[in-house]
Amino acid sequence: MLTEALFCLALNAYHEARNQDIRGMIAVTQVVMHRVESDLYPNTPCDVIYQGPTRESWKTRQYADMKEEDRIYYPVKHRCQFSWHCDGKSDTPHDNIAWAEAQLVAGGVLSGKLYNVVGKSLWYHADYVKPDWAESKNKFTQIGNHIFYERKN
């Protein structure tokens, strides 16, 4: 049975880097853990990964007297920290080999047993996009098709 943190990290590694080598999975997972340690982001891997605006489902919004814990919320499409979480597609892993690798990587990063490949990077993006925020960061490295950034001092 996977712990919640391990499951979230593995799911993120799977969706963000299953098409890359193991270093790519390690890198994106380390960014999540750097965010957990940063004062700019939430304090748990799952909260970091699922951070972003949500909207209430029409199925529960119509009931004014419904308890908050019974309401259903969904992420706002294309507004998440990690795009796979709010792209409207299933988040269930289908590639068993990549899913097993992602779980191993998540466990290694969570336990601190894997070497750091991204310095203090808090951000990354695919090399085929040019986000506006990238100019305000220090490029640290590129691993696979992801470019990693640290804070500018």
Return mean pLDDT, the chain. Answer: 94
User: Residue ranges per domain, the chain?
Assistant: 4-151
pLDDT by residue (tens digit) across 95-104?
999 999 999 9
Tokens of 143: 């691993």
User: Which position has the higher pLDDT, 1 or 74?
Assistant: 74
- Is pLDDT at 2 greater than 90 in this prediction? no
- Is pLDDT at 59 greater than 80 in this prediction? yes
The model's pTM is 0.89
- Residue 135 confidence (pLDDT): 93
Radius of gyration for the chain, computed over Cα atoms and rounded to the nearest angstrom: 16
Range scoring the smallest mean pLDDT among 2-11, 61-70, 80-89, 118-127: 80-89
Distance of alpha carbon 95 from alpha carbon 10, whole angstroms: 13
What mean pLDDT comes out for the span 25-38? Answer: 97
Confidence of residue 61 (pLDDT cuts 50, 70, 90): very high
Residue 27 sits at φ, ψ, to 5 deg, of: -60, -50
34-69 exposure pattern, b = at least 16 Cβ within 10 A, e = fewer:
bbbeeeebeeebbebbbeeeeeeeeeeeeeeeeeee
In which element (H, E) is residue 65 found?
A: none
pLDDT by residue (tens digit) across 107-146?
999 999 998 999 999 999 999 999 999 999 999 999 999 9
Distance of alpha carbon 36 from alpha carbon 3, whole angstroms: 16
- Residue 56 confidence (pLDDT): 93
Range scoring the smallest mean pLDDT among 43-47, 88-92, 121-125: 88-92
User: Which position has the higher pLDDT, 1 or 141?
Assistant: 141
